[in-house]
Amino acid sequence: MAEEKSGLAKGLLIGFLAGSVVGAITALLYAPKTGKELRSEIKKKANEFAEDAGEYMKTARTKTAEVVNQGKNRSDQLVSETKEKAEHLLDDAEKVLTGIRERAGSETGRVKAAFRAGMDAYKNEKGS
């Protein structure tokens, strides 16, 4: 949507500048002046148009640089936020894995103790 507005504004500005040039040239050609005056007037208008076009280009460059900088800043911010979220996820995963390891370790100890108790009971029964 913003690109549409930007394109529309750009088209309107270019149309305005082109219309101004055509209107100025038409006015100069129909004005009752001598050739020298006419050439001088055309040169003056051409210089004004060149200055206007230069100002337009300067403004366009400035706005382009601002948009690029905003994009860079936003992408840097997104990368930073993503890294932070990834670190939190990794920390949470590490906590879960640690809990699972602790539970597995305690279960292993219980299984070993039960196995030893069973072996001792077997030996006692066999020896008696």
Residue with tokens 């948009």: 67
Give the pLDDT band of residue 3 (cuts 50, 70, 90): low
pLDDT at 40: 84
Domain segments of the chain: what residues?
A: 2-127
**Which whole-number Å values give the CA distances from 1 to 66, 82, 114, in the listed order?**
18, 27, 70
Instruction: Read off the pLDDT of residues 17-71 as tens digits, 9 standing for 90 and up.
Output: 788 878 877 776 776 767 788 788 878 888 888 888 888 888 888 988 999 999 9
What is the pLDDT averaged over residues 81-90?
92
pLDDT at 22: 80
pLDDT at 83: 93
Residue 128 has pLDDT above 70, yes or no: no
Rounded to an integer, what distance in angstroms lies between the CA atom of residue 18 and that of residue 22?
6
Rounded to an integer, what distance in angstroms lies between the CA atom of residue 128 and that of residue 126?
6
What is the pLDDT averaged over residues 93-104?
84
pLDDT at 77: 94
